[in-house]
Structure 1
């Protein structure tokens, strides 16, 4: 495919604009009440993020490359009824705002892992971080891969080059400005998405080759067979509640001035994400009715096995050249807005919760800043390498996202709201959730099932809502094991020797109890002041 010089120039202008905004934001924006460069400023914008900026960055993070590309693909292939991301994310952000956002902000946490560190200790923190890291890295890799395909379609540029350049720019401005740079570049990226996709719609629907979508209603609407009802419900629940336990979400919630603002931010982001997905939905419907025989492709991209490129192909084939370039900018901006959030979130958790609070409690501010920048660079390289080398990114992301829902959500809920839970329950719940989810298999990842849930069929696979079942079992396990271990360590003589994780402190009650080797245990807890917050 020949290089499209004009498209490359336009793309370069977009990238320079985003890079410039990120660098200027990181260097020039003054954060009220905090010296620039503190960890609180780097990770949560000094907790002084303007509400308008906060709403924009929440929407931009949600309306990422996977969201706008994936929704168009899903509508074109499976139908609107099976395109659960918009509804699920809408419900999830509202529930997150009502249930979790205010509590997390009022407690003044720096990252999503802080409540785990306070209640469950280092082992659980590392386990939860691994699950979250998988979700972030695989998500980033999948959207980078989608971006590479889109740029190849519209510019003729080599896919690996497109992925590497986009990744490099995102990593650079994230390293320089961190949260404040990400927030302000998100504004630019969201504006590009709104303009790029919004302006294209009138041209798409007035193009003589797009046809009438009312003639293909059955195709783009889809249908839900009775036997797949459980699967549909399972996916909706997983998508809704699985939207919550991500550091990229909580990083924005924790960056505003109060718990009330955190709630407003989340709810406003929910409505914004629902509105901004409309262009993608409409483009997906057009893909089902368009006359693809009259295009340069000659055939529907879905039938060519290029369903993931439905959106860029519709823009390229059914809009004027200049408009298609604006759409290209929108796709690129959407991917970068998702990527910067993911790598900043994972690097923040690693620096604060793993490096600082486990391995280097006396690390200097300069050392932590260097570590976070190195972490951003490494995570960006990891996601880029995976996107270029692994051919089944969608399956990896689905599996990682399911693990976040099945494992991290119940753990987070218990850490925040159920005070009697402990790290024994947490670890057991982690194992149960992981086994039950992996046991269901993952066809996209060629992972065979070794647990056959009710209604299992060889061809259709798991028809039972196994994700929700695994999540509920994980939470129940956390509660039951925690209660049993609390009972054990409170009633059994010489139980201290069995406390392998050191979860309880033991006070000798009196001399007679001491002679009988009987101690009264007390739950060990970490005071929030002991959690290093710089």
Structure 2
């Protein structure tokens, strides 16, 4: 198949337009060029911008391609991702968004560093960082595959160019560029995929009657445990991500943060319908009646490409090009979120709070920009060199669920939570997660839970169990150490994590609706995190 020149030109025009628009909007909106502008757009987001950029941060290449893949191959019953993640984001918007926005945090790692100190708080950034990097690698890989099928161009070139475009406009414009390009990209996603639907379902090669009921899918009794695990992972594992809180913290008020998150989740859920329909059309396609020359039936792994296959072999050329523009837009809307999220946390929580407490604004801006470049490059490299990117993405989603979710809930709502409880939960949950094995990474299980299957692996919901154990440990160990040290049963000289020994002279608090967050770290390290109490509480 020859290179699709018209399609290649169209995609090139799209990339140039997004790049120019992103740079120009960044220069126009960024008046002072300070770190706060790049991090949080001066907390200036109104309702429309906040809703749309929040939705776009969810609707990425993996979201679009993955929805089509799973509903086409396994049916609606197993299409848990878009439903679960958006339910989780909506719940987080109702309960967490107004709380962290009222406290005027800069990142979602801030409450950990305020409560546990900079060093202990930074440990909990590990799962966030790897989650962002491998999320980015997965969506760049999805785009590379899509472009190679529809346009017949080299995967390496498409991944590198896509990464460069996302990194460059984020580098110059920060959150302003990311948010406003998100709005354009969200529009392109909706138009491109909705336009492809009538051509896909009305093609002579597609017989929708073949899937009149099978598209619903089914959950077999032996898979109930795995099903429960996946539902809990999607609902709770999507809550702690910095990419979403970047938008929350950039809203003008706590109330606006709450509303925009719930509305954004609703928009993202609606945008899962078009790729879902395309995926069902792919399962109803007689591929022998198309120009497709691959092996049939499609293998488990080949279903990953079902959306670009429908665009290329079922839809007219013009529609397929517009559709690939939609996929590219989806990738950009998530890739820029990834690099900015990790860059912000590194610059604010790692570099400033640990290594350079008195770093200047200019210094922070350049650290952020360097981090954006590094994260973007890492994502592209992993997308091109690692064959288990999807497995790594799944694993890091697991880590956000089993580690970060209970940590976040405890740091915000358990007043006596301390570093001992946090560290205990972190270590034990990491141990239990890895000893449960991971088939995508070819990690054999050291612990075989009930209903273990040699072919399908763990059928017991051990990830949910691990998350619950982490909760219990954080609360239990924190409560026990609090009583032991404060009651004088254990001398303060054994307080190696300094949760109590320096409490009197180094005590800070941020109040939000009656809930206190205490900082027991060194005064100089956390001064920038401790803002005045917000008068806007919900």
Please indicate the TM-score interval, normalised by the length of the shorter structure. over 0.9
1:312 equivalent among 300, 308, 311: 308
Distance 2:217 2:7 in 1: 35
Task: Determine if contact 1:44/1:254 at 8 Å carries over to the other structure.
Answer: yes
Kindly report which structure 2 residues correspond to 1:251-290, keeping only aligned pairs within 5 A, or say none: 251-290=246-285
Task: Determine if contact 1:89/1:239 at 8 Å carries over to the other structure.
Answer: yes
Counterpart for residue 15 of structure 1: 15
Confirm or deny that 1:184 pairs with 2:188. no
1:507/1:377 CA distance change after superposition, 3 Å: closer
Q: Could you say what secondary structure the match of 2:260 adopts?
A: helix
Shift of 1:265: 0.9
Q: Could you say what secondary structure the match of 2:357 adopts?
A: coil
Shift of 1:79: 1.5
Counterpart for residue 531 of structure 1: 528
Counterpart for residue 433 of structure 1: 429
Distance 1:507 1:79 in 2: 55
Shift of 1:165: 0.4
1:87 equivalent among 83, 89, 105: 83
Distance 1:440 1:507 in 2: 39
Confirm or deny that 1:226 pairs with 2:221. yes
Task: Determine if contact 1:119/1:422 at 8 Å carries over to the other structure.
Answer: yes
Task: Determine if contact 1:77/1:302 at 8 Å carries over to the other structure.
Answer: no
Shift of 1:493: 5.9
Deviations 1:162-218 (A, max 9, x none): 100000010000000010000001011111101110111111122111112x32245
1:416 equivalent among 402, 408, 412: 412
Shift of 1:476: 0.8
Confirm or deny that 1:126 pairs with 2:122. yes
Deviations 1:245-303 (A, max 9, x none): 00001001111111111111111011101111111110111111111001121455733
Shift of 1:316: 1.0
Q: Give the TM-score normalised by structure 2.
A: 0.93
Confirm or deny that 1:73 pairs with 2:69. yes
Q: Give the TM-score normalised by structure 1.
A: 0.93
Counterpart for residue 92 of structure 2: 96
Distance 2:397 2:503 in 1: 43
Distance 1:180 1:106 in 2: 21
For the aligned residue pairs, the C-alpha RMSD in angstroms reads: 1.9
Kindly report which structure 2 residues correspond to 1:259-408, keeping only aligned pairs within 5 A, or say none: 259-298=254-293, 302-303=298-299, 305-408=301-404
Question: Where do 5+ consecutive residues of structure 2 fail to align?
Answer: 505-517, 532-538
Confirm or deny that 1:149 pairs with 2:145. yes
Task: Determine if contact 1:433/1:470 at 8 Å carries over to the other structure.
Answer: yes
Q: Could you say what secondary structure the match of 2:124 adopts?
A: helix
Task: Determine if contact 1:405/1:471 at 8 Å carries over to the other structure.
Answer: yes
Distance 1:287 1:221 in 2: 14
Aligned residues: 516
Shift of 1:304: 8.2
Task: Determine if contact 1:135/1:400 at 8 Å carries over to the other structure.
Answer: yes
1:301/1:136 CA distance change after superposition, 3 Å: farther
Distance 2:489 2:456 in 1: 53
Shift of 1:50: 2.2
Shift of 1:149: 0.6
Confirm or deny that 1:487 pairs with 2:448. no
Distance 1:104 1:19 in 2: 32
